[in-house]
Structure formats: C-alpha cells, structure tokens
C-alpha cells in the first residue's frame, strides 16, 4: 500500500533562489503593522498557548508598536473584560517575565467582538473593528484570522469572513487564515475542508499549524543532519537498524472529551506530529530551507511511506484503564467525564511503516503515541546495527546494547549518543554509556515556545514551518487504511495508566526481534 504524490492546488509557493534572493536570518524578524483576530479566544488553546505567545513576542520586541489583538467569542465581554482574560492567561502561562510597560502598550490594542459564528451582525462588527484598527493603530489592512475552533465550524467562519469583506486585500496589504488541526477526519474530509478554505483564501494565505514544527528541537533535526558531516555517512540502511519515534504523555484527556472521543491517538498525533518528524528524519537534503524546497523533500518521503501488508501484526492500539499517574490514582478512559462507556477510541497507537527509498530500504520506522503512559517524553531514537564482528567474549559484551542516537525533543531537550565503553577494572567488560548534549548547558537563551515562532511566522508571511495541504493529504493516505482496519477489528486493548501501552504494542516489536525503548 503506497501513498501517491498528489500535487494539490496548494503547491504554489514560488521557488526562491537563495543565491539571487539572500536573506540575513540573523537580523531580528519583526512583524510589520498588523492584527491577529482569534476565533475561539475563550478556549483552552487560546488561554494556555496563543495569548501568552502574543505577549512573549511583544516582550521580545518582535511585534510592531501598533499591534492589535482581537478576540471573537460568544461571551458578553467588554474590551476591559477581554483585557483581564488576556492578563490572567499571560500571568499564568507566559514564558517571559511580566513587564508593566510592555503590557500597557500591548493592551491598548485589545478589542473584543462578542457574537456567534453564525451571526451576521457580529461579523459586521468585526469588519468595523478591523477598519477602526487600521485607522487608530495603523494596522494597514493586514489581518490574520486564527481559527482556534472545532474544524466543523471552519466553513461557516470562512464564509462569513468572505461575505463581510474581511478577506478583501487592499493593494499592498494582506489577509491570512490560520487553521489548527485536525485537518479533516480522513482523506475525503481533509480534501473537502481544503476546498472550502481555499475557495476563499489563496493557498499562500492559508497557514496550517502543526505546532511540533515550531519547536526548536524539531527544527534542530535539520541543523543536526545538514550542518554536520559526521552523521550523514551513517544515516542510512547500511548502519541504521530501525528508528523509533515516540510521543508519550502522562496526562489523560482532561477536559477534552468532546474533542478527543472519536478522534483518538492516531488522528490526533500520528497523522500530523509523528509523520512530520518522520519526514524530517528521513528526507533528503533540500536545495534550500525555503518553503517550496523543504516541502518537496518532505512530500517525497511521505510518498515513499509503505504500510505493512499485515496490519494485525504491525500495528497496535490501546485505551487507558485506571492506574497511576505521578503517584496519584487515576481513572480509566471509559470513566472520564463525557466519554461513553462503549467508546472504542484509542488513546494509544503504534504503527510500523517502511520508507521505500534507496536510503531507507529495510529500515522500519516504528511510531507510537499515547496518553497516560509512564512519563511525558517525545524523542526520535535512531538505533544502529550491531558491529559485524565483536572481538570479545560473550560475557564481556553481555551488557552492550545497540548504539543509538536519540533526539530528545522534549521535555529534557537535547541529544544523547549511546555507545559501549570499557568498565574501569582489570577485566574487559563493556557496558552502554551516554554522551549528552543539553540545550540548557550549551545555550544561555531559553527556547521560545512553538506558538511564539509560529504566530510570528504567520504575521511575517513566512511559510516553511507550515505543512502544505498535499502533506496533510499524504498523512491521511498513510493513515486511512489503518483506521479502516481498526474500525473493522474490535476494540482497543486496555492498558493500565502509568504503563507503556498494551501488550500488543510490545508483541509487535518482539515479532521483529526488537523492543521499544523505555525512555
């Protein structure tokens, strides 16, 4: 089963020749005059991530002085009430320290538009608000609309924006739309969603968020691979035995039952974050790091992804049962508020894929993600083959494992190289040791939050870190057969909270003579 490259209508970002069009990336990238309009501003994402990121950008001097933040939601708030909401979220979640003078300047640009997404009057008010901001804050007709709302509501908002003239770009100004995942439920719905969004916004004005791409450690995959000489010669099937990509969480679904049930771990994480990580790890060197070149290489890899013939042997799914998290007793998925007791939604998913290219022939990529696992960790572990010959006795190398290069995406950001070393003493005994790079130990700057980087890039109109529609489609082409298979074959297996997933996930690797890492 192979996903095929489909050059969708979205593939129009012009190729920029870096030699003819140089850009000094070291200069601070500061957004020009503009506003950010957030739909769903009272939601969890806006409160925990988006509003704090806006403040952090302002604090770092990366927003223009007249920047405006517009909240749109079905609440009876005044501008002052909205400012208080932003204030609380910034105080609780911002990364950088609170500075009164930054806050004062930023909050002058806050506006709140109360209303329902189907309410014409509210969208008329929104249009008046952005017009007013152009005059009073000098936002210059540049407005980004962030849809932090369930995807079922995208078509209505996009229609309203268009009907009320909010998508009309005046000469020299821009309008952009930012959409959060999930981009559809499967290939068909993703295509339909894209058709609706792109019937109103041109492809280059659509910014799809996969917040993993905004993480420093994820961008560092490109630096590690393409800025260094020592890794490239071994980055292939001659030396690599397999690759494990893990995104484990210790939390349950919290208050997100409405979003999560019916979606599950594979759609929530594998379709987007894990396949993007796979693409960055497996792709060839891009001609440059502009959006067009980067996407070309990522798409080639996603196109080359092969599912195993036997999904019963090479995929696994689970659902957390009651157990322990951080020393506290926690309930199972089926007992969570808002979850039907018959739900077949998986909270753990694991899948083997192969990448059908010369570089990766015969090297399985194992992807796994889950909630209520042993601890929160995201990592890419490149596991190397064993040395072809060991001039030691069996006892001497009893504790020698496989060499590994582990990209620690979070929370303990860095890179580990694991290899065998002689245990000091009079006998030859070899044991695994780790060589570590830690961001905190090498750099004084702390890493910006993914959303800081991504919101700034939206305001700058810089697209490389945003997946293009074709990549989204390829993700669904890979996943759809797995989801279909699971839907036809019973329910996910229960695993105790605090454990590392269902038995079937361990058996899946054991069958290949391998084992999951216990990070």
- Least distance from ligand BG6 to the Cβ atom of residue 376, Å: 7
- Residue choice 249, 290, 346, 499 for contact with ligand BG6 (CB under 6 A): 249
- Residue 117 or 248: which CB sits closer to ligand BG6? 248
Contact flags string 199-238 toward ligand BG6, x per CB under 6 A:
----------------------------------------
Nearest to 242 by CA among 466, 129, 369, 402: 402
Q: Kindly tell me the sign of the dihedral angle through the C-alpha atoms of 43, 49, 50, 55.
A: positive
Residue nearest ligand BG6, CB atom distance: 268
Q: Report the residue number, 167 or 246, with the smaller CB distance to ligand BG6.
A: 246
Query: For residues 87 and 95, which CB has a smaller minimum distance to ligand BG6 in the complex?
Result: 95
Q: How far is the CB of 255 from ligand BG6 (least distance, A)?
A: 12
The strand ranges marked E within 356-485 are 364-370, 377-384, 404-410, 414-422, 430-438
Say how far apart CA 385 and CA 388 lie, in whole Å.
8
Closer residue to ligand BG6 in complex, CB, 253/304: 253
Nearer to ligand BG6, 64 or 264 (CB): 264
Identity of the residue, 225 or 372, whose beta carbon is nearer to ligand BG6 in the bound complex: 372
Which member of 143, 185, 242, 273 is catalytic?
273
Q: Token pair of 381, please? A: 């572990």
> Which one, of 415, 308, 317, lies nearest residue 370 by Cα?
317
Asked if 268 is part of the footprint of ligand BG6 (rule: CB under 6 A), the reply reads yes
Write out the binding residues for substrate: 211, 215, 249, 268, 371
Count residues near ligand BG6 (CB under 6 A). 3
Minimum distance from residue 25 beta carbon to ligand BG6 (Å): 24
Nearer to ligand BG6, 134 or 216 (CB): 216
Q: How far is the CB of 249 from ligand BG6 (least distance, A)?
A: 6
State the DSSP string of 136-202. HT--TT-EEEEE-S-GGGHHHHHHHHHHTTTTPPPTT--EEEEEESP--SSHHHHHHHHHHHHTTS-
- The annotation places the binding site for NADP(+) at 74, 116-117, 181
Distances 443 to 190, 439, 447 between C-alpha atoms, Å:
40, 6, 9
Give a three-class secondary structure readout of 186-228: CHHHHHHHHHHHHCCCCHHHEEEECHHHHCHHHHHHHHHHHCC
Element (H, E) at 123: helix 120-136
165 — alpha (psi -120 to 50), left (phi > 0) or beta? left
CB of 378 to ligand BG6, least distance (A): 6
Contact partners, residue 502, CB within 8 Å, separation at least 6: 316, 317, 318, 348, 492, 493, 494, 495
Structure tokens at 228: 């260094």
User: Edge to edge, what strands does the sheet with 143-147 contain?
Assistant: 110-114, 68-73, 35-39, 143-147, 175-180, 206-209
Provide the annotated binding site: 74, 116-117, 181, 211, 215, 249, 268, 371
Q: Is 369 helix (H, G, I), strand (E, B) or coil?
A: strand
CB of residue 470 to ligand BG6, shortest distance in Å: 20
Q: Is 379 in the site for ligand BG6 (CB under 6 A)?
A: no
Nearer to ligand BG6, 133 or 483 (CB): 483
* 314 assigned to active site: no
Q: How many Å apart are CA 338 and CA 315, to the nearest integer?
A: 28
Q: Least separation, in Å, of the C-beta of 360 and ligand BG6? A: 25
* Spatial distance between the Cα atoms of 365 and 302, rounded to a whole number of angstroms: 12
141-160 binders of ligand BG6 (CB under 6 A) = none
Helix 154-163 and helix 120-136, axial crossing angle in degrees, nearest 10: 60
The token pair that represents 419 in the structure block:
């290899």
φ and ψ of 138, to 5 deg: 65, 40
In whole angstroms, how close is the CB of 375 to ligand BG6 at the nearest point?
Answer: 13
List, by residue number, the catalytic residues.
273
- Give the residues lining the site for ligand BG6 (CB under 6 A): 249, 268, 378
């Amino acid at each position: 089963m192979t996903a095929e490259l489909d050059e969708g209508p979205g593939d129009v970002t012009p190729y920029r020749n870096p030699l003819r069009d140089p850009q000094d990336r070291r200069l601070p990238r500061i957004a020009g005059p503009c506003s950010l309009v957030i739909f769903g501003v009272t939601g969890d994402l806006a409160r925990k991530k988006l509003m704090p990121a806006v403040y952090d950008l302002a604090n770092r001097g990366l927003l223009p002085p007249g920047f405006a933040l517009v909240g749109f939601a079905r609440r009876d708030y005044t501008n002052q009430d909205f400012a208080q909401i932003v204030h609380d979220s910034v105080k609780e979640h911002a990364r950088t320290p609170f500075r009164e003078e930054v806050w004062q300047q930023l909050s002058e640009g806050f506006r709140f538009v109360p209303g329902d997404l189907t309410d014409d009057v509210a969208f008329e008010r929104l249009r008046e608000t952005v017009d007013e901001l152009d005059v009073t804050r000098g936002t210059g007709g540049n407005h980004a609309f962030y849809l932090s709302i369930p995807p079922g509501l995208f078509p209505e908002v996009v229609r309203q924006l268009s009907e009320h003239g909010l998508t009309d770009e005046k000469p020299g100004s821009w309008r952009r739309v930012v959409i959060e995942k999930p981009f559809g439920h499967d290939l068909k719905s993703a295509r339909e969603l894209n058709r609706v969004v792109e019937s109103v916004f041109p492809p280059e004005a659509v910014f799809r968020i996969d917040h993993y791409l905004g993480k420093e450690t994820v961008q560092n995959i490109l630096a590690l691979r393409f800025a260094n000489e020592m890794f490239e010669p071994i980055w292939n099937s001659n030396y690599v035995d397999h690759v494990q990509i893990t995104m484990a969480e210790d939390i349950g679904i919290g208050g997100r039952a409405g979003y999560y049930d019916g979606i599950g771990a594979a759609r929530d994480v594998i379709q987007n974050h894990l396949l993007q990580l796979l693409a960055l790890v497996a792709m060839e060197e891009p001609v440059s790091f502009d959006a067009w070149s980067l996407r070309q290489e990522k798409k080639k890899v996603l196109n080359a992804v092969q599912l195993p013939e036997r999904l019963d042997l090479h995929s696994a799914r689970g659902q957390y049962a009651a157990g322990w998290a951080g020393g506290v007793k926690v309930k199972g998925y089926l007992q969570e508020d808002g979850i039907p007791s018959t739900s077949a939604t998986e909270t753990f998913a694991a899948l083997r894929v192969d990448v059908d290219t010369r570089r990766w022939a015969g090297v399985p990529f194992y992807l796994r993600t889950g909630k209520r696992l042993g601890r929160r960790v995201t990592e890419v572990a490149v596991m190397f083959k064993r040395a072809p010959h060991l001039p030691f006795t069996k006892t001497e190398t009893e504790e020698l494992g496989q060499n590994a290069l582990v990209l620690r995406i979070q929370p303990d950001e860095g890179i580990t190289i694991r290899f065998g070393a002689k245990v000091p003493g009079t006998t030859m005994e070899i044991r695994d040791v780790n060589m570590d790079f830690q961001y905190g130990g090498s750099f004084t700057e702390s890493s910006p939050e993914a959303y800081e980087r991504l919101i700034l890039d939206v305001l700058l109109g810089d697209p490389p870190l945003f997946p293009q529609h074709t990549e989204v489609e390829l993700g669904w082409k890979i996943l759809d057969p797995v989801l279909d298979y699971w839907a036809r074959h019973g329910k996910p297996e229960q695993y105790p909270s605090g454990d590392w997933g269902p038995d079937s996930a361990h058996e899946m690797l054991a069958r290949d003579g391998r084992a999951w890492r216990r990070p």
